[in-house]
Amino acid sequence: MPSITSIATQDVRFPTSLELDGSDAVNVDPDYSAAYVVIRTDAGHEGHGFVFSCGRGNEILTAAIDAYARLLVGRDIDELIYDLGAASRLLIHDSQLRWLGPEKGVTQMACGALVSALWDIRARRENKPLWLLLAEMTPEELVSVVDFTHIRDALSPEEALEILRAGQDGRDQRIAELKADGFPAYTTSPGWLGYSDEKLVRLSKEAAAEGFSMIKLKVGGDINDDRRRMALGNLPIAIDANQRWEVSEAIEWVNQLAEFHPYWIEEPTSTDDVLGHAEIRKGVAPVRVATGEAVASRIIFKQLLQAGAIDVLQLDSTRVGGVNENIAILLLAAKFGVPVCPHAGGVGLCELVQHFSFFDYALVGRSHENRMIEFVDHLHEHFAEPVRIINGRYAAPELPGTGAEMLSVSRDRWEFPAGEGWQEVGNRAAVTGAALAPAGDGR
């Protein structure tokens, strides 16, 4: 019986603050990072997973993964990967570690990294990319991996089973369509707040030439700057405030931009403020309200949907408890008829999140209408299977696994703080000192 012999973590960070890639009104100088984990067995299996952060604090995520990993070492790998619902509950509902969340923040993300690494082993074992593995699983097994705790009032196991059984009709045709045509995308690459107008215009023109039908701009720094930048775009525009505003401020600000017809306003306020989102949605209509990248759990998503607070649900591949919880979120969105447009970007998020949209179309939401995946053209070269964009659409992932595997040479070069890349960067990046105050004596 093959068992887990080791679980190794790495703190991997990239100096994206040097060019202000990823900058917005709140995250002004991110250094895109991954708390990375590899699960190994005595039968030679490997499973890769990670969660994303913006730099400082990535070591906290890595330490949390190490803490949860102790619950898995020595266990039978087959028992875990062929009952992934139980595997997830073993981690997320640990009677002592759960106190640190519960089911939110660093601990939930750490569990998600390990759960997703187990899915990576399962998908590799079955020689399928994750999206296809999920699409071809039975409805009953898919329901068995979902944790319905605290969401049964919105979605019962019976309702989830009904959604998935309905998805069997036409499934093979939709899988064939995905393999042939991919999935629609939009891009945020031109829209970072730290970019000059000239760079915004140049990258917007490149996006149009590459087949993208929409770009996203970061807003919320200065209203006059936002108005000027929105007038520069040559494609339809979505806007993203990254939780910058109070509720009344969000309504006022978005209405001042309404003449530019933004496709949606993303994260107008705290993602924990369900009622605030509902009020904003009423106050800025017909501009859509989108949120999700910082929503901590399926339970908050449930409330956003019950309150009619969002028009677009933006799940994130590493914010919640891994593959299992994102399946629950997709099913909730289908139950309430809200389209899913996942958050991506960062480091590796595009590689991961594409699988959820492909699965959603194949079996759950079963529609392209008002659905697209975010694309950001950063750091893909570091992955074993970089995303492929063809005429503004994600091409279907083909390699077995979840897409999480980062090249070992990249992991070693950018391991923080001792990797060769960081020795070259020195203190020029935000994470190494450019934005840090001098150390004091603690008084």
- Show which residues are catalytic: 218, 343
224-244 in b/e form (b: 16+ CB < 10 A) is eebeebbeebeeebbbbbbbb
Rounded Cα distance between 317 and 223, Å, is 31
> For the CA atoms of the chain, what is the radius of gyration?
21
Conformation bin of residue 352: beta by default, left when phi > 0, alpha when psi is -120 to 50: alpha
46: three-class secondary structure by DSSP: strand
Q: Residue 40, exposed/middle/buried by CB under 10 A (0-12, 13-18, 19+)?
A: middle
Rounded Cα distance between 324 and 359, Å, is 13
Nearest-CA neighbor of 404 among 13, 44, 45, 52?
52
Rounded Cα distance between 288 and 274, Å, is 15
CB 374 within 8 A of CB 185: yes
Helices (H), 182-297: 197-209, 223-230, 247-256, 274-284
H or E stretch at 159: helix 157-166
